[in-house]
Amino acid sequence: MSNTNTRRHLLISGTVLGVAASAATAAAAAASLSKNVELVRAFCKAGQDLDLDKQMTFIAETAIYHNMPDEPVNGAKAIRELLAGYAKCEKAEIIIHRIVEAPDGTVLTERLDRFMMGGKWIDCPVMGSCDIKDGKIVVWRDYYDNLKLRAQMA
């Protein structure tokens, strides 16, 4: 198989073209972040501050929170109950490595969520996706390695 017919070659060549074509757009986007990106940053900051009331101001009444691979949690009341568990942590850090808004307004985050429990840090690398409508998170999905997370909690 020639090097030009590999998946890796196609991805690299597509990425190079995409980067060259969008450099000006990326520079302009970096200069002013969208309201959706700022909303997700503020939501994460409230989580880091263990401020449940503030976090809930960003959640729509009919929102869905889906920690993969767990079952989705439906509605603000149920989401509040779930998030209340994090308030038992001694400290939290939500480190956003990358954040970007898709053309449809969905905000994607690559993060490290850290929680100190019993004097021990539990690290959870996360890829998150937030759908936002009318200034509120309506669907929030987090993808992470559940087995690795549970092993740290044992």
- pLDDT tens by residue, 63-81: 999 998 789 999 999 999 9
> Which amino acid is residue 96, in one-letter code?
I
Task: For residue range 110-154, list pLDDT tens digits in order.
Answer: 999 999 988 999 999 999 999 999 999 999 999 998 888 888 877
**Partners of 68 in the β-ladder:** 143
Domain spans, the chain: 1-31, 33-153
Backbone φ and ψ for 71, nearest 5 degrees, come out as -70, 150
pLDDT tens across 20-60, in order?
A: 445 555 544 444 469 999 999 999 999 999 999 999 999 99
How many angstroms separate the CA atoms of 23 and 128, rounded? 24
Regarding the domain delimited by 33-153, which CATH topology (the fold level of the hierarchy) does it fall under? Nuclear Transport Factor 2; Chain: A, (3.10.450)
pLDDT in tens, 77-111: 999 999 998 878 899 999 999 999 999 999 999 99
- Which of 16-38 are b and which e, b meaning 16 or more Cβ less than 10 Å from the residue's Cβ? eeeeeeeeeeeeeeeeeeeebbe
Q: Is pLDDT above 90 for 5?
A: no
Q: What DSSP state is assigned to residue 70?
A: S
Quote the pLDDT of residue 109: 97
CA dist 34 → 8, 38, 100, 107, 142 (Å): 32, 6, 9, 10, 21
